[in-house]
Amino acid sequence: MTDHEQQEQALPADGGEEAATPDGAEAPVVEEELDPVVRAERERDDYLDQLRRMAAEFDNYKKRMAREHEELRVRAAERLLSDLLPVFDDLERALAAFETAEKEAIADGISLVHRALWTLLEREGVSELDPSGDLFDPHHHEALLSQPADAPEGTILEVIQKGFLLGDRVLRPARVIVAGGAS
């Protein structure tokens, strides 16, 4: 007789409290298996174990996400900085030109650096915020001064410092002078 057949024989056929042993003798079923308190304690322990496992898995997930977020930030910074290095090289060449070149050559070098940097910024999604003549918007502009003018109140008269957008988000608001009404 196989072990499986012996185990099947040991189970009570009628659902009673006694089971047959391999040698045919009747063995009493352990009382605690029928006790609802013991059963509830086992279920509680199982649920507590499951909860602890899920808590540990969630903690590991949070740590993994934090690591991946940091790696992504480092890779993004690395890519941007490696793109900035040629601009830095151009700027060094422009500074070296101050010692040997004429004003026109220096201006050309600085213009080249400016163009290279602006190209890099545009490639990253940066655009210039030009609010000249627009109405003041506190989400896109920073009013430095209000002065009387013939223009309608709240109109931007002058841009002191350019603003920039990254997509539709403001990287830096434009610093402006706003019309304060007729004088």
In the predicted structure, residue 3 carries a pLDDT above the cut 70:
no
Q: For residue 64, what pLDDT is reported?
A: 97
- Each residue's pLDDT tens digit, 45-103: 999 999 999 999 999 999 999 999 999 999 988 988 888 888 888 888 877 777 776 77
Q: What is the mean pLDDT of residues 10-17?
A: 47
In the predicted structure, residue 181 carries a pLDDT above the cut 50:
yes
Could you give all domains of the chain from N- to C-terminal order, each with its CATH number? 35-124 (3.90.20.20), 126-183 (2.30.22.10)
Q: For residue 9, what pLDDT is reported?
A: 52
- Each residue's pLDDT tens digit, 123-157: 989 999 888 878 899 999 999 998 988 888 888 99
Q: For residue 47, what pLDDT is reported?
A: 96
Q: For residue 55, what pLDDT is reported?
A: 97
CB burial readout 64-98, b (16+ within 10 A) else e: eeeeeeeeeeeeeeeeeeebeeebeebbeebeebe
CA distances from 19 to 2, 25, 65, 121, 156 (A): 18, 8, 54, 81, 94
Q: How confident is the model at residue 14 (pLDDT cuts 50, 70, 90)?
A: very low
Q: How confident is the model at residue 15 (pLDDT cuts 50, 70, 90)?
A: very low
Q: For residue 13, what pLDDT is reported?
A: 47
Q: For residue 50, what pLDDT is reported?
A: 97
Q: How confident is the model at residue 118 (pLDDT cuts 50, 70, 90)?
A: very high
